Structures are given as C-alpha cells and as structure tokens.
Chain A
C-alpha cells in the first residue's frame, strides 16, 4: 500500500511538471493549430538560459523565470514572424511541421556548439530536497512545478476566455480573413500567441533543469510527450492537458514502481490509443473541433 501511495504522489508531481511544459503547447498546438515540434527544444533553451543565468548571478532559478520569460517570448514571436508567417496559408499546417522541426534541430545544434553535449544540472542546493509527509517523500521542486503549472494554465485560460486578445486569437484561428475585416491584426495576434506559448517554456525549462540532467538532445523525448499530452487532453482544452499529464505521470509511476519500468511509457501510449479510438477528440476536446 505504501508503494502505491508513494507512486501516486511521485506520478502526480511528475504529471505536474509535464502539465507545466504542455501549457504552452496547448496554446500553440491545441488552439492555434500549429504543430510546433520545437516546443521541446525551446524548453531546453530555457533550461540552458536558466543554467547560465544561475551560474552568473546565483539568483534562484524560480526567480530567474521573470528574466527568461520575456526572452523566450521574443524567441517564440520571432520564430513565428520570420519563419512561420511567410508560409502560404494553404500549406501552413503541413509546412509548419517541417519548419518547426528545422527550428528544433537548429536550436539543438546551436546549443551543442555553445554548451557541448555534456549533461548539465541546475543545482541551487535544494533541487533534491523532499518533505517527508507521513512517511512519504514529496519532492519540493516538483511540488512548486505543480503549483506553477496550475497557475500558468489558469492565466492562459483567463487570457483566452476573458480578454480581447483571447477573442482575437480565437477569431484569427477560426477565420483569419474575417478577423482582419473585423479589425483584428491577425498577423500580430499570431506572432503574439506563438510567443506567449513559447514564453511558458521559461518556467518549464527552469523546472526541467532542476529535476533532471539535460543536454541539447533532451528535447526529443520531451516533444513526443508534449504532443501526446495535448492530444490526449483534447485539442483546445486547457484543463484537459493537466488531466492528461497527470494520467501520464501517475500511470507511468504506478507501472514503474509496482510492475516493470520497461512498460511504463508503453502503458501511456496504450491509454492514448484507447482514448483516441473511443473518443477521437481527446478527453476534453471540443465537439466541433474542425470549426475552431
């Protein structure tokens, strides 16, 4: 029983970390319909940024998120403006896949040159601390990441549902031409939305660098998880990605701790397959997905 509860705790906390990473992907992939294969690479860029800034300033990595967020925003917005915007609208969906994959490889290459492929860790001293609660270990960093991801997704939800910008984003995705006719600067909105999605990697990168050693190639594992979380949660459903990340984290932890770790990730994909077979729009996806 102790093992089950400990696995549930570990899984939920890991799920929280992935939810944090998937929050930006939910906006870009789930709402703006751009398949951004570079999101994992942006997370790693943010991990390195945090790593370097921490080495230089000694400031707390969570505090550094305030500095790295605007940097990641600019990087994201620039990627959209210079690389995705020029794509012909008819082919944009397919080509964005290639362009963002190229961006991911480019970022990986650049990071390899600057930082080499040595594994790095951000070590402020508390990265491995755990609270012992009734005999169970609760890792501090993952707990903070969990809270951050809830906050981040809450902000995204409010932004999309309650602000003029949110309405502009949704209008632009539905029909860019009509949105423009109604006075929405859809080009700027797209760049801003993409930048916003990428800016969430600042927090995700800091947390990722604290909990696991990383190198420039770490983004491959990340991106497959991020995309599946968004698909499982349901396109456009912000809350869905939290639930999906938790399913992934808890499922993997239970299988790893109680059965065989070799099946841990496989289990998640079985769940994903079943959900897509029974409910193709994902757990919480909107029914009229095509009309979004």
Chain B
C-alpha cells in the first residue's frame, strides 16, 4: 500500500505549527502577565521570630520593629511602587523549628525576601537555609562569632559590630584616660556564654596590654541564680574596675549581689542587661543604675538620623513611651531600611542585587552607618553608654557624647 506521505507531512506540519503558535502565544501571554504582576504584586518578606519560648520578649520586640518598618514603607508608597507584605511565623525559640520555618517560607509561601530571626543560635541554621536557596539574609540579631564563621556571603548583621566586640569601646574610653587616672586593677566576671565571655576577654586583652593588672578572672555557669558568693570573691580583691561579661538575669544578679555586699567598684561595665532601658531599672531599682556603663547601638536618646521619626511612629503604633522601646525593635526596623536603600540605589529589589549591593559602601540606619566584611560582620563600633540621671546617655566616643563619663561610680543607693 502506498502511503500519501506528502499529504500526511503537510497535515503534520500544520498541526505542529498550530501547536507551536499556541505554545508560544500562551507562554508569551503568561510571561507578559507575570511581568505585569511582578511590578504590582506586593513584595513579600518572610521572617521567623521567637514569639514564645526563651527569646519571646526579644522576638516580640523584633516583630514590632519589622511591622513598624512595613507600615512606614507602605505609607511612603512601598518599594519601587510595590507594597510590602510581611509574613511572620513563630519558631518558639527552637533551632529546629527555625529551619522548617525558613524552608517553608521560601519553598511553600515563595516569599521574595527573607530576613533574620532573633539570636545567633537561630540565625546560624536559618542563614544556611537562606544560602541554600540563594536568598539574601539581612539579620538584626545574630552577631556571635559562629555566625560569621559560617562564611555566608549572603548574610548581613544589622548592628555596628560583632557582638563580642561590644566592649571594645569601654576599653577605648578607659585607655583614653591619662595614665594617672586609669584603673590599676581589674576583675572580669563572665557568664559561660559564647558572647558574654569573649566580649570581656577582648577588654581584658586590651587592659592587660596597657598594664592594668588582672586580679580576678572567673566564669560562672548560666544556672547561677545567686551571684553573692562570686561577687564576694571579687570584693575580696578590691579591683578598681569590674567588667561583667553578662547577658540579662545574671547582670541583674551581679548588681544585686554588689549592693548586698556593699561593694562599689570605681568603674562598672556590664556588657548586656544594663543596656535594656526598660528591664534594668525594673530589676535593680532606678536609683541603683547610676554610673553603670554598658554599650549600645540604639537607645531612645540616640542621635542617629531618623530616631525621632522612628520613636514617633513606634508610639503611634504601639503606645507607651520612648523609654520602653527595645533596641531590638530599632535593629529589625533598620534591617528593613537596608532593603529600601538598596532599591533606591539600584532600582531593583531581588536577592542577587541585595547581596551584591550591600557588599560595597556605607549604609545609614538607626543603628549607625553600617558596612560589612565579606561574611556580614559589621565593621563599625558600638557607643559607650552610661546610666546618668536615670537614663542611658552616650559618653564615648567624645564626638557622639551627650554627657561626660561619670567616674568614679556613685555609691549604691541600696
């Protein structure tokens, strides 16, 4: 049997052409449609936060910062004309849950951008997920050495310096004093914690190099509720300066123990705990805060540009007073600010652009002008703040100082 091949081929090519045209046109329409909707659909941001569990307070503070930034940026017309939407999911302070959350945000919710959770503990696993999917990872609250040891080029820590360098500014101040008025002896009382202890050790290295003698250097475990025996050991050595490598509860316990033992060093620096404008006076009594040094990136009396507007918007949204604003809220807000700045500079907002752009230049935020090394470690310095007249004030570096440092420290009120 002879097959009419030419007719068959002709018919086949017609069908093929029709299919091809349909396919091309369909995909063209779809592409055009996508392009059109990409410009107008909201820019979706995904964040996992510790709304319950150990970090609940800080997680909630970060949530306030993120949400406030979203509200502010949308009032200004969004980013590149796109409204911003934020999806915040709870990780209950769990490093396992945070991995699930970011994986879901990226693969199921298909958010455009992810930003960081609270704490280095959660930032490390979360940043690995972001890196795996090629997402940028601007994060406000994971500044421990292990975060940067990940060598994740997608990561940007939104604070002025790595957390363990938070005390360097105190060393700068002490060593700026004339040799005759510097402390002669120092004690280091450190929580067994990856941030608190290295921070105090960094100060110790600087002090020892300058000839300030170490008379006490001990680490205590995190379950130490009662600090009186430890502080009695310190008091017996009568150091001029006490450097507390502290987190929160232990900072308060150290102060209570000092008051109870009537031990008042001439300089007292507490790395964390004392930097909380809200909790510190509540835990030890406002009168007893006088003269305690700590370091901060943002606090209500900060002179960083944008602070007044931020405080006003914060109070309008959440009520309360400026003194009640946690620095974590300002840090999370600043993380959002960086997105705005990148879009403004490049006219684009996608992960590759964010990563490439933030690696150069200096970026002004509420927490200072930020710039990073290749793995997201900020290259700036914290401000030295001191409790003076019932509030935190910047006392060093002199250029940003709101008040001269008060030393020796006034006596405890009791």
Are the CB atoms of A118 and B282 closer together than 8 Å? yes
Smallest CB-CB separation from B285: which chain A residue? A123
Contact A119 B233 (CB under 8 A): no
A 113-132 contacts with B by CB, 8 A: 116-121, 123, 127-130, 132
Q: Are B229 and A221 in contact (CB under 8 A)?
A: no
Taking a contact as CB atoms under 8 Å apart, the answer to whether B414 and A253 are in contact is no
Q: Interface digits, A218-262 against B, CB 8 Å rule (1 contact, 0 not)? A: 100100000000000000000000000000000011111110111
Chain A CB within 8 A of B218 CB: yes
Known: A10-B228, A262-B218. Is A130-B256 also a contact (CB below 8 A)? no
Q: Is the CB of A256 within 8 A of B230?
A: yes
Question: What's the Cα separation between A255 and B221 when bound, in Å?
Answer: 13
B262–A130 contact, CB under 8 A? yes
User: Among A159-167, A209-217, A276-284, which stretch is in contact with chain B?
Assistant: A209-217
Of the candidates B219, B279, B414, which one forms a contact with A119 in the assembled complex, judged by CB atoms under 8 Å apart?
B279
Q: Is B341 an interface residue (CB 8 A)?
A: no
Residues in A with CB closer than 8 Å to B205 are none
Interface residue? B80 (CB, 8 A)? no
**A137 and B260 contacting across the interface, CB-CB below 8 Å:** yes
Among B220, B229, B260, find the residue whose CB has the most chain A CB atoms closer than 10 A.
B229
Q: How far is the CB of B273 from chain A (nearest CB, A)?
A: 9
A137 and B256 in contact, given A116-B57, A262-B218 (Cβ under 8 angstroms): no
B18 within 8 A of partner (CB): no
Bound together, the chains give a CA A223 to CA B279 distance in angstroms of 25
- CB–CB A262/B252 < 8 A: no
A88 at the interface (CB under 8 A from B): no
With the chains together, A137 CA to B414 CA distance in Å?
A: 13
Q: Which residues of B (273-298) have their CB < 8 Å from a CB of A?
A: 278-279, 282-285, 288
A256-B233 in contact (CB<8A): yes
Which residues of the partner chain B approach A120 to less than 8 Å between Cβ atoms?
Answer: 282-283
Known contacts A137-B261, A213-B253; A261/B56 CB under 8 A: no
Q: Which of B199-253 contact A (CB under 8 A)?
A: 218-221, 223-226, 228-230, 232-233, 236, 248-249, 252-253
- With known contacts A117-B54, A212-B253, A261–B228 Cβ distance under 8 A: no
Expressed in whole angstroms, the minimum distance between the Cβ of B105 and any Cβ of chain A is 25
Count chain B residues whose beta carbon lies closer than 8 angstroms to a beta carbon of A: 38
Query: Are A130 and B261 in contact (CB-based, < 8 A)?
Result: yes
The answer to whether A180 has its CB under 8 Å from any CB of chain B is: no
A212–B225 CB distance below 8 A? yes
Interface size class, chain A: 35 or more
What residues of A have a CB within 8 angstroms of the CB of B52 in the complex?
112
The reply to whether A119 and B225 contact each other, CB–CB distance below 8 Å, is no
CB distance from A272 to the nearest CB of B (A): 15
A139 within 8 A of B: yes
- Does B259 count as interface, using CB distance less than 8 angstroms? yes
Which residue of A is nearest B236, CB measured? Answer: A3
A261 to B218 Cα, complex, angstroms: 7
With A116-B57, A264-B224 as known contacts, state yes or no: A128 contacts B414, CB within 8 Å: yes
* B192 interface hit (Cβ, 8 Å): yes
Contact B228 A139 (CB under 8 A): yes
Give the residue of B54, B57, B221, B260 whose beta carbon is less than 8 angstroms from that of A261: B221
Q: Which residues of B contact A217 (CB under 8 A)?
A: 54
Q: A119-B279, A262-B218 are in contact. Are A7 and B56 (CB under 8 A)?
A: no
Instruction: Mark B59-72 against chain A: 1 for CB-CB distance below 8 A, else 0.
Output: 01000000000000
A130-B262, A211-B226, A262-B218 in contact; A7/B282 too (CB < 8 A)? Answer: no
Q: How far is the CB of B343 from chain A (nearest CB, A)?
A: 35
Contact A119 B252, beta carbon cutoff 8 Å: yes
List A residues 95-144 near B (Cβ within 8 Å). 112, 116-121, 123, 127-130, 132, 137, 139
- Residue of A14, A254, A255 touching B228 (CB-CB under 8 A): A14
* Residue in B220, B252, B283 whose beta carbon sits within 8 Å of that of A256 in the complex: B220
**In the complex, what residue of chain A is closest to B234 when comparing beta carbons?**
A257
A2 to B238, CA, bound (A): 13
**Smallest CB gap from A252: residue in B:** B229
Known: A2-B236, A130-B261. A257 touches B248 (CB 8 A): no
Q: Closest CB-CB distance, A193 to chain B, in whole Å?
A: 29
Q: How far is the CA of A7 from the CA of B248 in the complex (A)?
A: 24
A121: chain B residues at CB < 8 Å are 252, 256, 282-284
B132-186 at interface with A (beta carbon < 8 Å): none
If A7-B232, A139-B260 touch, does A119 touch B249 (CB 8 Å cutoff)?
Answer: yes
**A6 on the interface (CB 8 Å rule)?**
yes
Set of chain A residues within 8 Å of B412, measured between Cβ atoms: 128
Q: How far is the CA of A218 from the CA of B225 in the complex (A)?
A: 9
Q: Which B residues are in CB contact (< 8 Å) with A255?
A: 229
Known: A129-B414, A256-B229, A265-B223. A116 touches B56 (CB 8 A): yes
Q: Give the distance to chain A from B329, nearest Cβ to Cβ, in Å.
A: 15
Closest to A221 in B: B223
Taking a contact as CB atoms under 8 Å apart, the answer to whether B256 and A128 are in contact is yes
- A-chain residues with CB within 8 Å of residue B219 when the two chains form the complex: 260-262
Instruction: Report the minimum CB–CB distance from B226 to chain A (whole Å).
Output: 5
Q: Which of A2, A11, A128, A132 has the most CB of B within 10 A?
A: A128
Residue on B nearest A253 in the bound complex, by CB:
B229
- Which residue in chain B gives the minimum CB-CB distance to A224? B223
- CA of A160 to CA of B364, assembled, Å: 70
Point out which of B219, B224, B260, B279 has the most chain A C-beta atoms below 10 A from its C-beta. Answer: B260
Residues of B within 8 A of A261 (CB): 218-221, 224, 229-230, 233
Pairs A–B under 8 Å by Cβ, sample size 15: A116-B56, A117-B54, A118-B282, A120-B283, A121-B252, A121-B256, A123-B285, A128-B285, A128-B414, A139-B260, A218-B225, A221-B225, A257-B232, A262-B220, A264-B229
- Extra contacts, 10 of them, besides A7-B229, A261-B220 (Cβ < 8 A), are A119-B249, A119-B252, A121-B256, A127-B256, A128-B414, A137-B261, A213-B252, A221-B225, A256-B224, A260-B218
6 residue pairs, one from A and one from B, having the closest CB atoms:
A256-B229, A261-B220, A253-B229, A128-B259, A257-B233, A213-B252
